[in-house]
């Protein structure tokens, strides 16, 4: 029932976003953005700097290497986050929405015939698949890195790190059904306190050794790369930990608007992170033994427990943000025809963007628990973390490069060198992260490969299924001639069909079985558009195709959940709810060796069809007014 609709996008328009950022005060929107958007990247100081010196490729704790790492961290934040995402990528929005699908929509609108379009679509799907790997790793490494601060209270507390982490993980996923509305209002204030705290703690240490600010000079990072290239290359694999979560700036743009996110980053998050990393550098230069936990040792001992509590709250917020993102991405993928129907629940009557996917929640919870138990420490998890992030960054740069050069047509004299620099940075980070493939990078890569297989199998299987059904269906003209003498009964019949031109199989099966038809028949097709939300005035397109027979096309955005009864209330002559019955066709797939897909993929597709959410639930049909008619289809 889902198909590709018209792609509509604009590089500057902000209308149509499901949250109107201009409806609230700029400060309130900035505070909200601080809580939701920067949770992941904001908690990176817990482990990013430390891993360069205690991770798999350890560096000496001397001034040259400490300042070299610090310079790399700072310039990664400047180039990747500030320049690439804030100043360039966030200009590419889809009616205010960001993310891979929004970028793909923008490209499809302007360059529908471009030979690069299939590859760009593949890049968008790849970035989406990689996101699921990130969604598994972020809660595990974030919460675990915060709770590891317990070890500073004494050796007796170390044994509680894993149990406490598991309790928090289970509790976090257990409350997802309640939605983020109840606790989301506290995200902004907590993260505001977090950024102010880490900034002040860092500034306190920098005041004791202001020489670390020399790392702002990019020649310090270049000197590290030139004079110790092998170690510098491997260090890039840990530097990337400082920019994990950068993609959230773009993906969450529809919630808060580009301006609020940019201001929150430039005025609060960015300077706080820079001071925190600089403070950790100053600390370990003064006391190399502090490298065991440079973040927590920024604070005086009396503040350790309050900082531990604050860090735990911040990492839970970071985890909550990406879990909610996984639910939203799943809903979009279902609407756009890349995943089978799954149960989607709305957790807020006011904010329609807040959704909950029970199946995804369970799968994520199990995966995160297994990761915490299997890896056992944030250091081990850090090796697995960078690969998905850097791969996503490379794909995003390739896509935004096409937008800059072919869609916006910026001056190539300066845009090509800029894109080349950004791509070089991304490729360097990706290459370094790839060296950790055997140390854990295989895990998110495997998740992404599985998701790409699921995406492609479902998309291809749906195409083959629709093609097979169309080959067996009766032309509409012949159908109208056939039913001219069929007895009609009182009432309205709604036939749901994925074919917007043919005759629904359920109609033909009903006619064969019962030899009667209803006096009014509505052939309804739900289509997904590559825009987040469809204007209610453009929701319905209706056409009378014969006596007592109408065809109705219902359009939904990729961030909306279809509601067929509600949509039919918008037609010119709404059918009465109590006199309307819904007819569905349920196909039992029979995999064969016909050309189209390999047999094992046909079995996989058939399994996904069997386990998909029923159309009755997905389209919110009244339970006591649904009739299902089955058939077998060979693919």
In this prediction, residue 20 has a pLDDT band, given cuts at 50, 70 and 90, of: very low
More confident residue, 567 or 387: 567
Res. 351: pLDDT tops 60: no
- How far apart CA 129 and CA 338 sit, in angstroms, is 11
**What pLDDT digit, counting tens, does each position of 575-610 carry?**
998 889 999 888 777 787 777 788 888 889 989 988
Mapped onto helix, strand or coil, the DSSP state of residue 245 is coil
Choice among 2-11, 107-116, 375-384, 566-575 with the minimum mean pLDDT:
2-11
pLDDT computed for residue 219 by the predictor: 95
Which of 523, 385, 508 has its CA nearest to residue 447? 385
pLDDT of residue 8: 30
Measured distance CA(356)–CA(331) in Å, rounded: 9
Alpha-carbon distance 31 to 256, whole Å? Answer: 10
More confident residue, 234 or 324: 234
Q: Which of 119-128, 189-198, 318-327, 400-409 has the highest mean pLDDT?
A: 189-198
Q: Would you say 580 and 494 are in contact if contact means Cβ atoms under 8 Å apart?
A: yes
Q: Give 5 or 300, the one with higher predicted confidence.
A: 300
Name the one residue in this structure whose structure tokens are 């110790």.
Answer: 228
Look at residue 9 and tell me whether its pLDDT is greater than 70: no
- pLDDT bin (cut points 50, 70, 90) of residue 15 is very low
C-beta contacts of 471-478 below 8 A and 24+ residues apart: 472/505, 473/499, 473/502, 473/503, 473/505, 473/508, 474/502, 474/503, 474/508, 475/502, 475/503, 476/501, 476/502, 476/503, 476/545, 476/546
**In angstroms, how far is CA 247 from the centroid of its own chain?**
9
- Arithmetic mean of pLDDT over the chain: 84
What is the CATH architecture assignment of 25-459? Up-down Bundle (1.20)
Q: Which residue has the tokens 């790492």?
A: 69
What is the pLDDT, as a whole number, of residue 214?
Answer: 94
Over range 464-492, report the average pLDDT. 81
Q: Which pLDDT does position 18 carry in this prediction?
A: 41
47 band by pLDDT with thresholds 50, 70 and 90: confident
User: pLDDT, tens digit, for every residue of 399-428?
Assistant: 999 988 888 888 999 999 999 999 999 999
Strands 487-496 and 580-590: parallel
**Residue 520's closest CA among 475, 579, 585?**
579
Would the pTM of this model clear 0.75, i.e. be above it?
Answer: yes
Dist. CA 103–CA 128, nearest whole Å? 12
What does the alpha-carbon distance between residue 10 and residue 559 come to, in Å, rounded to a whole number?
Answer: 17
The mean pLDDT of 121-142, rounded to a whole number, is 87
What tens digit of pLDDT does each residue of 220-267 get? 999 999 999 999 998 888 888 899 888 878 877 766 778 888 999 999
Helix or strand run (H / E) with residue 246 = none
H or E element at residue 356: strand 355-356
pLDDT of residue 185 exceeding 70, the answer is: no
> Tokens 């032309």 identify what position?
475
For residue 529, the SS3 value is strand
Q: What is the distance between the alpha carbons of residues 512 and 493, in angstroms, rounded to a whole number?
A: 16
> Distance (Å, rounded) from C-alpha 233 to C-alpha 106?
35
Q: What percent of the chain has pLDDT over 70?
A: 92
Where are the CATH 1.20.1740.10 domain residues in the chain? 25-459
Q: Is the predicted pLDDT of residue 167 greater than 50, yes or no?
A: yes
pLDDT in tens, 62-90: 999 999 999 999 999 999 999 999 999 88
């Amino acid at each position: 029932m889902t198909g590709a609709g018209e792609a509509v996008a604009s590089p500057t328009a902000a209308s149509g976003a499901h949250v109107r950022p201009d409806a609230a005060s700029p400060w309130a929107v900035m505070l909200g953005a601080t809580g939701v958007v920067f949770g992941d990247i904001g908690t990176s100081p817990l482990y990013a700097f430390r891993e360069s010196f205690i991770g798999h490729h350890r560096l000496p704790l001397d001034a040259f290497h400490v300042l070299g790492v610090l310079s790399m961290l700072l310039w990664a934040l400047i180039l990747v986050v500030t320049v690439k995402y804030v100043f360039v990528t966030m200009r590419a929005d889809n009616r205010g929405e960001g993310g891979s699908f929004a970028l793909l929509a923008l490209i499809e609108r302007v360059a529908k015939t471009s030979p690069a379009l299939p590859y760009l679509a593949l890049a968008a799907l790849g970035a989406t698949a990689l996101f699921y790997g990130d969604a598994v790793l972020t809660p595990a490494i974030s919460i675990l890195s915060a709770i590891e601060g317990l070890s500073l209270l004494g050796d007796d507390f170390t044994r509680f790190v894993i149990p406490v982490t598991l309790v928090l993980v289970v509790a976090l996923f257990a409350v997802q059904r309640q939605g983020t509305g109840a606790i989301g209002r506290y995200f902004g204030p907590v993260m505001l306190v977090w950024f102010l705290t880490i900034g002040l703690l860092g500034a306190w240490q920098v005041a004791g050794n202001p020489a670390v600010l020399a790392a702002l000079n990019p020649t310090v990072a270049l000197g590290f790369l030139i004079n110790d290239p092998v170690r510098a290359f491997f260090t890039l694999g840990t530097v990337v930990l400082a920019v994990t979560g950068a993609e959230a700036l773009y993906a969450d743009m529809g919630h808060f608007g580009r301006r609020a996110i940019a201001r929150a980053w430039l005025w609060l998050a960015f300077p706080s992170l820079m001071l925190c990393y600089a403070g950790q550098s100053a600390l370990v230069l003064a006391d190399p033994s502090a490298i065991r936990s440079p973040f927590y040792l920024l604070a005086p001992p009396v503040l350790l427990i309050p900082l531990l509590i604050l860090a735990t709250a911040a990492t839970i917020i970071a985890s909550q943000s990406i879990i909610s993102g996984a639910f939203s991405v799943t809903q979009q993928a279902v609407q756009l025809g890349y995943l089978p129907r799954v149960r989607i629940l709305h957790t807020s009557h006011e904010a329609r963007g807040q959704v909950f996917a029970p199946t995804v929640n369970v799968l994520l919870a199990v995966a995160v628990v297994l990761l915490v138990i299997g890896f056992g420490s944030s250091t081990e998890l850090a090796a697995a973390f960078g690969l998905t992030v850097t791969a996503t960054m490379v794909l995003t740069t390739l896509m935004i490069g096409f937008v800059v050069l072919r869609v916006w047509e910026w001056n190539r004299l300066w845009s090509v060198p800029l894109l080349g620099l950004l791509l070089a940075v991304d490729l360097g980070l990706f290459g370094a992260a790839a060296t950790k493939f055997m140390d854990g990078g295989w895990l998110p890569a495997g998740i992404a490969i599985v998701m790409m297989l699921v995406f492609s199998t479902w998309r291809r299987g749906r195409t083959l299924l629709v093609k097979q059904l169309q080959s067996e269906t009766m032309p509409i003209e012949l159908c109208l001639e056939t039913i001219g003498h069929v007895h009609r009964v009182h009432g309205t019949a709604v036939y749901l069909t994925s074919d917007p031109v043919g005759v629904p199989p359920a109609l033909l099966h009903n006619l064969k079985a019962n030899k009667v038809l209803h006096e009014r028949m509505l052939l309804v097709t739900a289509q997904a558009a590559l825009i987040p939300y469809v204007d209610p005035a453009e929701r319905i397109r209706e056409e009378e195709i014969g006596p007592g027979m109408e065809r109705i096309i219902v359009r939904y955005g990729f961030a909306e959940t279809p509601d067929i009864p509600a949509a039919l209330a918008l037609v010119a002559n709404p059918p009465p709810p109590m006199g309307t019955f819904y007819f569905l066709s349920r196909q039992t797939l029979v995999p064969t060796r016909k050309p189209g897909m390999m047999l094992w993929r046909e079995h996989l597709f058939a399994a996904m069809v069997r386990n998909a959410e029923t159309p009755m639930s997905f389209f919110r049909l009244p339970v006591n007014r649904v009739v299902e008619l089955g058939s077998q289809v060979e693919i």
